[in-house]
Amino acid sequence: MGSGILDRLQRKERVAAIIKILSDNPNKVFSLGYFSEFFGSARSTLSEDIVLAKKVVEYLGCGKIETISGAAGGVKYIPGLSDINKDAFLKELCVTLSSPDRIIKGGYIYMNDIVFSPEISSKVGLILASYFIEKNVDYVITVETKGIPIALMTARALNKPLVIARREVGVTEGSSVSINYVTGSSKKIQRMSLGKRAITKGSRCIFIDDFMKAGGTANGIIELLKEFECELVGIGVLVEGASDKKLVSDYISLLTLETVDEENGIIKIYPTKND
Amino acid sequence: MGSGILDRLQRKERVAAIIKILSDNPNKVFSLGYFSEFFGSARSTLSEDIVLAKKVVEYLGCGKIETISGAAGGVKYIPGLSDINKDAFLKELCVTLSSPDRIIKGGYIYMNDIVFSPEISSKVGLILASYFIEKNVDYVITVETKGIPIALMTARALNKPLVIARREVGVTEGSSVSINYVTGSSKKIQRMSLGKRAITKGSRCIFIDDFMKAGGTANGIIELLKEFECELVGIGVLVEGASDKKLVSDYISLLTLETVDEENGIIKIYPTKND
């Protein structure tokens, strides 16, 4: 918060302060009045600051600052990556993930270091969030465990709460609802549960995960959300497996894993064409 | 990245751009040469920009920008909260957590909405990270599930990888090491496992979790890390229970839960005095 000890900021510092505040609070609306009080500057001055802040964000290719007019108006920062930055990031990720030493017996690839990396998961979250920004999302939901970092970063970019469905019911969640579902690929019966207080009835949710084979888990989430009278309005995953026939039709994946050839040590993975 | 289409930035925009870049990459060193090339400005000009950036971060009470001298030198942003901001945040959290409707049968309090909140977990992560900044940490480790968001945000603030120990071994992790440990409070035997590739031998780790009762899980982590010839150099939790005798002595907690009085609907929780 502004400190009385320090001098009032000049424009060259104020623009930076505005960007820092907006950037730390993605998709949160700040009124001009808030900034005016915070910096002790006139609204007209701050309007000019915000024009400069918009230019900086555009220059960096890291999203945009949007002005909302009207009584509840103000400005908010919508984080994102420019197409150039996004393409470069996803291509680099494919190079990293194609390394033969990532092959795990059974045709899997090792991704834990990628999906648990704060730097990578935050960029993946930014990108996934950008597909759902217009969907009026109330919650981001995932199933433990490996999708949590990406889902959290997506929720952070959208400024919405994260909800985590559990495999086993914990004692610290109070009453919960459990459902059984069938995995799409191995046809196994699995269970997931969610605490009754986790979601408000009638909410709109998106499901975010690290990997989608056939989409059985996504179907499980749809079932689970029905129990809460909530709607799944989007699905986003970092990687989809190309070989499995999908049980869900409407989803976003950033990367497509085409081949894991254990015998010859070859992984083929490329950015998904989502358009 | 800088775009040729846009004009070169002026100081009032450049300071903002520098803060945005540093802020998006906490604890990562950027050389003056990097900024010089990125903005097409002289190093001496950028030195002056950075003085202004430092002032802004100080003004906002959100950490500091540090200059590292020498050949590998440059600047980095160490995120943090000023004491005033930190105290206000933790007190507000205590008010939220004291609400009687959070009481769960068995003497627990419902915290999922708090620990899964992107906004709250990122602030908690910032605060926890600040205690371990001098510890030369290589990894942040946690156990699934509820500690993951806070641990990820701590890892993000420290710019270090996150590692997640699992309750059950997944097929996508390759070979893994499992240990059994005894919970401190309920004396139950539990199991945790970690993929062999998750951590490099000889690393320094901190354990981050949402809640500590007696510290049995922390002891489990110490055992697990021994199998990897790694050392636990710090423990940080959001909440500790006041009633349990602790099995570990050296840890940081942000909040202390003193009482959960189910009968009278009273929760007593306050910021921990760590000094």
* Mean pLDDT computed over B112-135: 97
The residues near A12 (Cβ < 8 Å, ≥ 6 apart) are B11, B12, B15, B52
| Architecture in CATH for domain B83-271 | 3-Layer(aba) Sandwich (3.40)
**Which pLDDT score is estimated for B168?**
84
pLDDT tens string B76-122: 999 999 999 999 999 999 999 999 999 998 889 999 999 999 999 99
Alpha carbon A6 to its chain centroid, in Å, reads: 37
**Which pLDDT score is estimated for B183?**
85
Q: Where residue B17 falls among pLDDT bands split at 50, 70, 90?
A: very high
**Which pLDDT score is estimated for A1?**
46
**Which pLDDT score is estimated for B275?**
63
Closest Cβ–Cβ partner in B85, B109, B174 for A110: B174
B11-79: CATH number: 1.10.10.10
Alpha helices in B131-190 (DSSP H): 148-158
**Which pLDDT score is estimated for B6?**
56
Among candidates A171, A166, A162, A168, which has minimal Cα distance to A199? A162
Across the interface, do B159 and A118 touch by the CB < 8 Å criterion? yes
Q: Which of A112, A124, A162 to mutate to test the interface with B (most CBs of B within 10 A)?
A: A112
Closest Cβ–Cβ partner in A12, A52, A56 for B20: A56
Quote the CA–CA distance of A59 and A163 in Å, as a whole number.
34
- CB crowding A201-236: b at 16 or more within 10 Å, else e: eebbbbbbbbbbbbbbbbbbbbebbeebebebbbbb
Across the interface, do A60 and B159 touch by the CB < 8 Å criterion? no
* B100–A contact, CB cutoff 8 A: no
pLDDT tens string B224-275: 999 999 999 999 999 999 988 899 989 999 999 999 999 999 999 999 997 6
Domain residue ranges in chain A? 11-79, 83-271
Compute the nearest-CA separation of B52 from chain A (Å): 6
Closest Cβ–Cβ partner in B3, B146, B152 for A118: B152
Instruction: Indicate if the pLDDT at residue B129 is higher than 50.
Output: yes
Both tokens of B82, joined, read: 């000023």
Q: Where residue B5 falls among pLDDT bands split at 50, 70, 90?
A: very low
Among candidates B176, B19, B212, which has minimal Cα distance to A19? B19
Q: Where residue B1 falls among pLDDT bands split at 50, 70, 90?
A: very low
The residues near A18 (Cβ < 8 Å, ≥ 6 apart) are A35, A46, A49, A50, A53, B16
Alpha carbon A256 to its chain centroid, in Å, reads: 18
Chain B environment of A119 (Cβ under 8 Å): 25, 156, 159
Segment 51-70 of chain A within 8 Å of chain B by CB: 52-53, 55-62
Q: Which of A145, A158, A210 to mutate to test the interface with B (most CBs of B within 10 A)?
A: A145
Q: Which of B101, B112, B137, B141 to mutate to test the interface with A (most CBs of A within 10 A)?
A: B112
What averages of pLDDT result for each successive group of 10 residues across chain A (275 residues)?
63 97 97 95 95 97 94 92 96 98 92 97 97 97 97 98 91 90 86 96 98 95 97 98 90 97 96 85
Across the interface, do B104 and A173 touch by the CB < 8 Å criterion? yes
pLDDT tens string B158-211: 999 999 999 988 778 889 999 999 987 778 899 999 999 999 999 999 999 999
